């Protein structure tokens, strides 16, 4: 019988992203089990990344534990996020999570939305 190969980790975190998620979770108004990341349709480029507190782990969630942080991936977003590195950047005027995504084909000028292709199309 053939053995199954391990599934790739959908998303990886930089140390800065992990530290910021730890901080955000520690300061949440109510207990949370992690942060849920996904994508939604919208914006001038077609899609936007989403982040929210996860109060429970849904059966279909893809769970990633990296650098001591639990990130839950919306199952509809897995193919769009496969291979993504999540970072947290701070400069003089802003601080935000940044997604370095190999499936991103373009972004709008304002930086609020992106165009993504599913990872399966890249094969």
The radius of gyration computed from the CA coordinates of the chain, to the nearest angstrom, equals: 15
Q: What pLDDT score does 109 carry?
A: 63
Task: Give 41's strand partners.
Answer: 47
* Inter-residue contact 58 to 70 (CB < 8 Å): no
- One digit per residue, the tens of pLDDT, for the chain of length 123 reads 566 767 778 999 999 999 999 999 999 999 999 999 999 887 776 788 899 999 999 999 999 999 999 999 999 999 989 999 999 999 998 899 999 988 877 776 666 667 777 776 444
* Homologous superfamily of 11-117: HesB-like domain (2.60.300.12)
CA angle 59, 6, 56 (to 5 degrees): 20
The string over 110-121, giving b where at least 16 C-beta atoms fall within 10 Å of a residue's C-beta and e elsewhere, is eeebbebeebee
Q: Which residues, 6 or more positions from 23, have their beta carbon under 8 angstroms from its beta carbon?
A: none
* Inter-residue contact 118 to 45 (CB < 8 Å): no
63 burial level (CB within 10 Å; 0-12, 13-18, 19+): middle
Q: Enter the pTM of the model.
A: 0.81
Q: What pLDDT score does 121 carry?
A: 47
Domain residue ranges of the chain, discontinuous segments joined by +: 11-117
CA angle 11, 81, 22 (to 5 degrees): 40
Q: What pLDDT score does 2 carry?
A: 60
Q: What pLDDT score does 101 carry?
A: 87
């Amino acid at each position: 019988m053939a053995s199954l190969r391990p599934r790739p980790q959908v998303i990886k975190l930089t140390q800065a992203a992990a530290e910021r998620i730890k901080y955000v979770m520690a300061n949440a108004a109510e207990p949370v089990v992690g942060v849920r990341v996904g994508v939604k349709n919208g914006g001038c480029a077609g899609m936007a990344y989403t982040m929210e507190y996860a109060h429970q782990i849904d059966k279909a969630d893809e769970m990633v534990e990296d650098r001591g942080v639990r990130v839950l991936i919306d199952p509809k977003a897995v193919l769009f996020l496969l291979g993504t590195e999540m970072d947290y950047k701070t400069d003089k005027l802003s601080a935000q999570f940044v997604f370095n995504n190999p499936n991103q084909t373009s972004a709008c000028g304002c930086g609020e939305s992106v165009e993504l292709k599913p990872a399966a199309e890249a094969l």
